[in-house]
Amino acid sequence: MRALVTGCAGFIGSHLTEALLDGGHSVVGIDCFNDNYGREQKLTNLRHVREWTDFEFVPIDLSRGELLSFVRDADVVFHLAAEPGVRSSWGRRYERYVQNNILATQQLLEACREAPGVRMVFASSSSVYGDAGPASVCEESPTWPISPYGQTKLGAEHLCALYRRELGLDVVCLRYFTVFGPRQRPDMAFHRFLRAAVGGEPITILGDGRQTRDFTYVGDVVAATIAAGVAPGLEEPVLNIGGGAPTSLVSVLGIVEELLERPLAIRHAERGHGEVRDTHANTARAQRALGFSPQTGLELGLAAELEWIVSLLAGDRERAAA
């Protein structure tokens, strides 16, 4: 398979790129290094894949660049590039979300329109459901985003559905539920919690800590994403990808205490605007269509991310001492 991966230097995109190369596929990776977090971490994410002869990196802005030649050379387009984050989507930065989540997706769909036979897998988000409550949501559940970020991801989904229905494009949308693991973005909860815990600093929880998330390990998300790229005759255009065991933040911190073998200092702050109370994915459709079944539980995945955080902090100390 010849794959085009957008957002290849990001958290999930870099793992996906590595997995594709490990599987014997060739990859063209696109990333514009937007400033939502440090360029250095993104470059580090690409460190291993740059050693592969079957990997080509192209620094380009999807919303402005010429994409047709890259799409025509691909069998599958994995569209993971996005402007992420709920809290930062309010205010003046919203324009970035429109550009990088909606306009970039439309530009890529237009390129796919001129490349018959190419499948596009779009990385969407559980944020499209909004505050759906603790019950599991299926793909037909109402979509009422409560953040500008969720609204732009849903808008991009609507574009995918439009191009699929009206122009016959082969497009599938995957709604990821709270992905975690090594290389997680610095603004995400587990990254913040583990960095503070390892450094002996207080951990700040937004809200009472009883809110639940359907945490999904990055390796399971990557497996589902690749399956969506190669599965023949996909009839379902939208699929939930979740870990299957919603867990409260308080319980997560209990696991961290067990991993570190010491108590944590925890403080609380006001819940942010747009933060949903609970998420819980019904993944029956993905199980049928993709054979999706999460393989990495929360404790094992947290241990892997903790090991990565420890190595990050060790690197920070070495650079500071140099």
Q: Please report the DSSP string for 221-242 in residue order.
A: HHHHHHHHHH-TT---SEEEE-
For the record, the structure tokens of 124 come out as 């969407």
DSSP category for residue 259:
H
Q: Which residues contact 265 (CB under 8 A, 6 or more apart)?
A: 201, 202, 203
* 94 assigned to active site: no
Select from 241, 9, 212 the least CA-distant residue to 124: 241
Hey, what amino acid is at 34? Answer: N
Handedness of CA 246, 253, 183, 37 (dihedral sign): positive
Q: How many helices (H) and strands (E) would you count in the chain?
A: 11, 13
Please tell me the distance from the alpha carbon of residue 150 to that of residue 196, in angstroms, as a whole number: 28
Rg, the chain, Cα only: 19
DSSP category for residue 266:
E
DSSP category for residue 100:
I
Directed axis angle between helix 189-198 and helix 298-321, to 10°? 60
Which residue pairs, CB below 8 angstroms and at least 24 apart, start in 161-166? Answer: 161/237, 163/109, 163/112, 163/113, 164/237
From 37, 97, 149, 217, the catalytic residue: 149
C-alpha angle with apex 128: 126 to 131, nearest 5 degrees? 80
**Residues carrying an active site annotation:** 149
